[in-house]
Amino acid sequence: MNYKTRIRVRLFLLLAALTLAVAACQNKKPPAEDAPLPADRIAPSSVAPSPVGTNQTILHKTFTVKSSAIFPFEIPPRAVRPHLHGIFESFVSQLHGTSRGASDDEANLDFLILNAEQYADFASDRPGDAIFSAEASHNQSINVDLPASLGQPVKYYLVFRSSAGKAPAKVVEADFQLDF
C-alpha cells in the first residue's frame, strides 16, 4: 500500500470511530414504565389552586320550611379533607321560642347531606341513602368529613325536610361552614 492509501484508510477509520463515539454519547433513555400517560396529565392552565387551609361559609341564614328547603354547595377541586360543620335550630312559627301550645317535637325536622346521585333519588321520591342524616331533630350540631374532590369540583346538598306530613311550618336558623 502506498503512503496516500494508508492515510485515506487511517482517515476513514478515524471518522468511523468518531461517528460511533458521538452516537454512543447521546443519552437516549427508554420510556419509563411508570411514567404518566399524556391523558393522565392535567394541563397547567386548568389546574386550580389548592383550597387547603381555607374555609367557606355554606349557609348562614334564617328561613322557613313548609315541606323542604334545599341548599346546594360545591367542594372545589383538589380539596383533600373537606370538613362540613355547623348547627341548626328549628322553631314553630317564631324564632327562639315556640308558639303557644307547640312542643319541641312539632319543631322537629329531618336534616340530610346528599351527593348529586343521592339528591337525584331524593328529588325523584326514590328511597336512597344519605352521606349524613339527622331525623326528627330541632337542634343539631353537625361535624362531617366529606370525600376528597380530587381534580373535579363535587356538588352536595343540605336538605331540611319537615318530619311530619301536615306539620306546621318551621323557622330554621342555620350556620354551616366548610374547612379544607
Task: Show the CA angle centred on residue 73, arms to residues 70 and 74, nearest 5°.
Answer: 150
Residue 100 confidence (pLDDT): 41
CA distance 38 to 41: 5
Residue-wise pLDDT tens digits, 121-159: 999 988 889 999 999 999 999 999 999 988 899 999 999
Residue 98 confidence (pLDDT): 46
| Confidence at 44, pLDDT banded by 50, 70, 90 | very low
Residue 158 confidence (pLDDT): 97
CA distance 123 to 6: 93
Residue 6 has phi, psi (to 5 degrees) of -60, -40
Domains for the chain: give ranges and CATH numbers. 54-179 (2.60.120)
Residue 56's contacts (CB-CB under 8 Å, 6 or more residues apart) are 73, 177, 178, 180
Average pLDDT value for residue range 16-39 = 63
Residue 105 has phi, psi (to 5 degrees) of -60, -35
